[in-house]
Structure formats: structure tokens, C-alpha cells
Amino acid sequence: MFEKLKERYHESFIILKELVKTDFLLRYQGSFLGIAWSVLKPLMLFCVMYVVFVKFLRFSDGTDTFPLVLLLGISMWNFFTESTSMGLSSIISRGDLLRKVNFPKYIIVVSATINALICMLINLGVVVVACILSGVQFTANVLWLPLNLVQLYLLSLGVALLLSTLNVYFRDAQHIWEVVLQGLFYATPIIYPLSMVEQKLAEVAPGAGLLVEKLMLLNPAAQIIQDIRHNLIAPATTPIIWELSGNIFFQMIPVVLTFVLLFWGIRVFKKHSPKFAEVM
């Protein structure tokens, strides 16, 4: 069985490897700092967010680890943004290749998401080093981190497959997705702690804060980012859906949504991909 799988996907794997290598090299071609930008961009964004939202607007959970939590959240969100945005435009940008060579079209989208994944892993390494230097006490929850990262990648891949298909037929999808990402960014507890939502709502609607927190964590991106922060840096001060709700069916909603988006993306992409070259 393994030999048959290897024989079937060997050519696809070679194409994928070459596309990933080419895209990664072209991404920083002509840049003086090159690959260093994959680390510098989130760090510079973190500095801006930290000064504006933590120092001036006082968005914080009151702990010493919040700057690291903020940096980690920005890194994970950057991955989701880059993988979906690059995946969205990947088929259109490779139109010349699709018209000349016959190969599985999904490889192009997977290549775009893997490039974003490589940058994210580099950023994650920087965060881990910063945690060690800051004296963060890691717990056994770190063992859940690979599953969190896999879920984040599958979510991004599913969305990227859907968007790339939509973009072939509807070129305005890219602009609409940019607006949607902005809305999702502020609806996801990245620059502010989730506990702050409950505190603010307690002033106007006592008891509504916990419900709103649970509803926010039904967003798979929010659930995953909170889980990663909880498992890597601050298990005591980072609320997650597994602790806020005791209902297993409610807890599993964002996980189920992740796989629904993935399978929906695969199905839609598989159905329309044979017509991509003709449409473009």
C-alpha cells in the first residue's frame, strides 16, 4: 500500500518541493535583508501594537507574560493571513504554468501555504527563545502544541482552497477577503486579552461577558490562537474554550468547523480545478 502511495504521489511531491523552494527564494529576491524579513516584519508589527494598545490604550491582562502572548498571537495571525491571501492568488499567479503543464492543481495552493508555514515556524522559534530568556515556565501543555499547529494549518489550507477557487471566477474576492480579514482581526482576541471582554461587558451587562467569550471562541482561528497561547506561555491567564465550557459538544464546534472548511475547500477545488486553465 505504501509503495503504491509513494508511486502515485512521487511526481506531485517533487513538483511541490520545487514550487516551495522557488516561491521561498523569489519571495525575498532583491531584498537586502532577505529571509530576515520573515522575523523582522512580525517583530516590527509587535512593537507598534505593543506601544499603541498596551502602553497607551492599556490593553493588558496585567501579567508580565502578556507581551509574549501578544507577540505569539501576532505571529499566528500573520500565518493565517499570509497563507490564505497567498493561497487565494496562487492559481491566478500561476496561470501560465497551468496552461503549459498538466499536474495536480492543488499543489500550487499547498505550496503557497507551506511557504507561509515556514515563516511561521521561524517566528515561533523566535517566540520560544524569547520565552526562555524571559524565564517562562513551560508546562506539560506544550505537548498539545503540535496538534494546535496542525489544526491551524488545516484551517488555513481549507480557506485557501475555497478562496483560490472563488478568485478564478470572481476576481473581486481578493479585495473582499482583505476587508473580511480586518474584521476577523478585531473580532479575534489578539491585541487584547479575552478576559478584557468580560471586564468591559460587566460594566454594562453583568453576566453577559462569559457568554460573549464563549461565542468568540467558536471562531476556529480564535480557538486555535488561544489554545497555542495557553499551551505554550500562559495556561493560568489565557481562557480557552475547553475550560470556559463544560459541554463537549460546544467545545468541539470550532474543531468541527475546521474540518468542515477543509473538506468543503477540497471538494469545491476538486470540482472546479479542471476548468481553471480554460477560465483563465
pLDDT digits 0-9 by tens, 121-169: 988 988 888 888 888 888 899 999 999 999 999 999 999 999 999 998 8
* H helix count then E strand count, the chain: 14, 0
pLDDT digits (tens, 9 = 90+) for 234-245: 888 888 898 888
pLDDT at residue 221, rounded to an integer: 94
pLDDT at residue 143, rounded to an integer: 93
Question: Is 175 inside a domain boundary?
Answer: yes
Question: Is 206 inside a domain boundary?
Answer: yes
1 pLDDT tier (thresholds 50, 70, 90)? low
Place of cell 500565518: 79
Question: Is 2 inside a domain boundary?
Answer: no
Question: Is 1 inside a domain boundary?
Answer: no
Question: Is 76 inside a domain boundary?
Answer: yes
Q: Please state the domain count of the chain.
A: 1
Q: Give the Cα separation of 219 and 17 in Å (integer).
A: 32
Question: Is 119 inside a domain boundary?
Answer: yes
Query: Going by C-beta distance under 8 Å and a sequence separation of 6 or more, which residues neighbour residue 149?
Result: 228
H helix intervals, 57-188: 66-93, 95-100, 106-133, 145-169, 173-187
Q: Which range of residues forms the domain containing residue 232? A: 9-279
- CA nearest to 75, candidates 152, 162, 178: 152
Question: Is 91 inside a domain boundary?
Answer: yes
Q: Give the Cα separation of 264 and 158 in Å (integer).
A: 7
Mean pLDDT, the chain, whole residue set? 84
DSSP label at residue 56 = I
Question: Is 184 inside a domain boundary?
Answer: yes
> Model's pTM, two decimal places?
0.89
Mean of pLDDT values over 54-64 = 73
CB of 84 closer than 8 Å to CB of 177: yes
CB of 233 closer than 8 Å to CB of 72: yes
Higher-confidence residue: 197 or 39?
Answer: 197
pLDDT at residue 231, rounded to an integer: 93
Q: Give the Cα separation of 241 and 55 in Å (integer).
A: 28
Residue 5 confidence (pLDDT) above 60: no
94 pLDDT tier (thresholds 50, 70, 90)? confident
